[in-house]
Structure 1
Amino acid sequence: MAQKEKIPVYSLRNLLQEPRQQADFQAEHFSSYLRKHYEHLHRPHRHSFYHMVLFTSGSGSHTIDFERFEVTPYQLYCMIPGQVHSWHFTTPVSGFVVNFPDSFFKDFLYNQYYLERFFFFSGISTDCVFQLPVLLQQKLPALFEELIGYASEEEASPDLARVLLLQILLLIGNEAGPRPAKAVPEQKKMVLHNLRRLIDTHYRSVRLPKEYADLLYITPNHLNALCKDLLGKTAGELIRDRVLLEAKRLLINESKTVAEIAYELDFQDNSYFNRFFKKYEGLTPDEFRKQFFK
């Protein structure tokens, strides 16, 4: 197979073209953003920053970590750093885009993990795409317009932009968030939150639920019961899904052979990686890769 080009990772400095724009924050109308960057946006790519897009008109599709979504008016996309995505539009689109780095709120808020409280920044594709309720369809466009004004003013206080963006995030979290059928104790939510963070950090080398249970100071049975209760999945399935996601990202993101990817993901036996991938995806790694490089 011919060597494949790496899928690019864009930083804010890659995208900011106007000297008046603040270096650690970007907000503009999506039509303008699209004119400048469509050559890159319609191909699979990653960002090193948080990426929010609100559509107000237009149609097409958006693929995030191999999940495809139809673009519709008043649909919001909220992505975390590292997710692979691409856009494909069938009619002209309009709306708003906001990009900000992981550090944007860290010197402003006491809790450095504050953004993780928002369901739409979970990094799970199906959580980060949703239709705005009518109340937010009326409120958010004006707030985004105000945010664009702050982004374009060289002398504007960055804290004003932070306060306004935080207001937008809180409104979305309060009005568009899922309403659980039952109240979930904070302790359970914290254990699940910490489990996901640990899996994101250690999935290459730590594969057993028991190992994660030890890191969390709980029993494996308790961990599995909690995952089944809150997510409908076992801890083992969460670990497996994270390994599969990274395998798919690497298969389309790196100029590496399948054997090299298997080794990077700690599958010492390439044939085992092939069997693992086909069992859960229905395709071999090579067949999956060929879908993207025809």
Structure 2
Amino acid sequence: MAKIPVIEQCTVSYKEDKHLLADQLDVYLVNNRNLVFPHRHNFYHLVLFLQGGGSHEIDFKTYSVSIGQVYCMGPGQVHSWMFEGDMQGYIVNFDIDYFKSLLLRSDYIENLSIFSSLNESVFSLTEETLKQVIPLFEQLVGLKNSPSEDDLKRTLLLYILLKLEQDYRPSFPTKAMDYQMLLIKNFIALVDLRYKDLHLPKEYAELLFVTPNHLNGVCKEYLGLQAGEVIRNRIHLEARRLLILPDWTISQVAYELQFSDNSYFTKFFKKVEGITPEEFRKSQWK
């Protein structure tokens, strides 16, 4: 049984900069041709496809490559790719603290919708946005051998991320950014942050200064899910990620997710997944 490795930023970055990698996709694939197996990162990772085919998998879901498609991943997500043909585009990796000296809010990047584990951050850019971001990516790649231009690189990358965020449409219905949508975004960000120790909608409602009924109603309207389902889905996702690590026992996974005992965790997982944790683990490593 193989272990899902964690790829560290320093193993794929250039010597000139251990905190940022920005490159043409085809060049990156030549330099990292062996990274086709399932793995996870300890850094942020995004790719823009301009040519090529095949597919890529993020957190157990497969996506077909399309021209103008972007995928954005945060630390800890599991992925692999099965590319076909002449792959062209851009790839950017940056570590968790890359914007620490630039932004007043240290959690700003992790709260962007494009990096939320509860959203599917695989989407196609509009033609107008694509025209705008390609020169930005080119400029960022052109600075890869210029370690003295750190502030310029940070600013360029932040601008790219904000353009992607502006073009991104989450899976819930598109509406104007009103109070209700802001509540949903804050709820999703909070679940991403506190899913291990807060399991009840009322706990999140209290932190968001709304009633549990109001939070539940807004979740139903925008997401088509109960607030409790949103929380359970995030716990379930992390459970799946941890269960594919063979050096973790079922007890360790349950403890990490703060379940009171193994039986409660097994009952929770089987209700959501349809099979037990042991059966899920076996299915992933046949």
- Fold conserved between structures, TM > 0.5: yes
Distance 1:138 1:219 in 2: 44
Higher alpha-carbon deviation: 144-153 or 200-209: 200-209
- Paired position in structure 2 for 1:158: 150
Shift of 1:108: 1.4
Alpha carbons of structure 1 residues 177 and 206: separation in structure 2 relative to 1, 3 Å? closer
Alpha carbons of structure 1 residues 182 and 56: separation in structure 2 relative to 1, 3 Å? closer
The answer to whether the 8 Å contact 1:59/1:93 transfers is yes
Offset from partner CA, 1:23-54 (integer Å, 9 cap, x none): 21110111221122232x22222212211111
- Paired position in structure 2 for 1:31: 26
Is 1:228 equivalent to 2:220 in the alignment? yes
Shift of 1:5: 4.4
Shift of 1:215: 3.1
1:99 paired residue among 83, 88, 93? 93
Q: Which amino acid aligns with 1:33?
A: Y
Count of residues paired in the alignment:
285
- Paired position in structure 2 for 1:215: 207
Q: Which amino acid aligns with 2:268?
A: F
- Paired position in structure 2 for 1:279: 271
Q: Which amino acid aligns with 2:247?
A: S
Is 1:262 equivalent to 2:262 in the alignment? no
Shift of 1:225: 1.8
The structure whose residues are more often helix, as a share, is 1
Distance 1:184 1:289 in 2: 40
Q: Which amino acid aligns with 1:28?
A: D
Q: Which amino acid aligns with 1:91?
A: G
The answer to whether the 8 Å contact 2:55/2:82 transfers is yes
Where 2:92 maps in the other structure, the secondary structure is: strand
The answer to whether the 8 Å contact 1:65/1:125 transfers is no
Counterparts of residues 108-123 of structure 1 (less than 5 Å): 108-116=102-110, 118-123=112-117
Alpha carbons of structure 1 residues 132 and 212: separation in structure 2 relative to 1, 3 Å? closer
Q: Which amino acid aligns with 1:35?
A: V
Distance 1:176 1:125 in 2: 10
Distance 2:7 2:43 in 1: 8
Distance 2:162 2:18 in 1: 24
Same amino acid, percent of matched pairs: 45
Shift of 1:175: 4.0
The answer to whether the 8 Å contact 1:5/1:255 transfers is no
Alpha carbons of structure 1 residues 203 and 114: separation in structure 2 relative to 1, 3 Å? closer
- Paired position in structure 2 for 1:144: 137
- Paired position in structure 1 for 2:10: 13
Gaps of at least 5 residues in structure 1 are none
Alpha carbons of structure 1 residues 256 and 169: separation in structure 2 relative to 1, 3 Å? closer
Distance 1:172 1:202 in 2: 26
Normalising by structure 2, we get a TM-score of 0.88
Alpha carbons of structure 1 residues 125 and 34: separation in structure 2 relative to 1, 3 Å? farther
Where 1:114 maps in the other structure, the secondary structure is: coil
Distance 1:275 1:146 in 2: 51
Q: Which amino acid aligns with 2:20?
A: F
Normalising by structure 1, we get a TM-score of 0.86
Where 2:109 maps in the other structure, the secondary structure is: helix
Q: Which amino acid aligns with 1:71?
A: V
- Paired position in structure 2 for 1:65: 59
Distance 2:156 2:197 in 1: 40
Distance 1:216 1:117 in 2: 15
Distance 2:222 2:276 in 1: 31
- Paired position in structure 1 for 2:178: 185
Note the aligned Cα RMSD (angstroms): 2.4
Alpha carbons of structure 1 residues 9 and 224: separation in structure 2 relative to 1, 3 Å? same
Distance 1:267 1:170 in 2: 37
Distance 1:292 1:218 in 2: 40
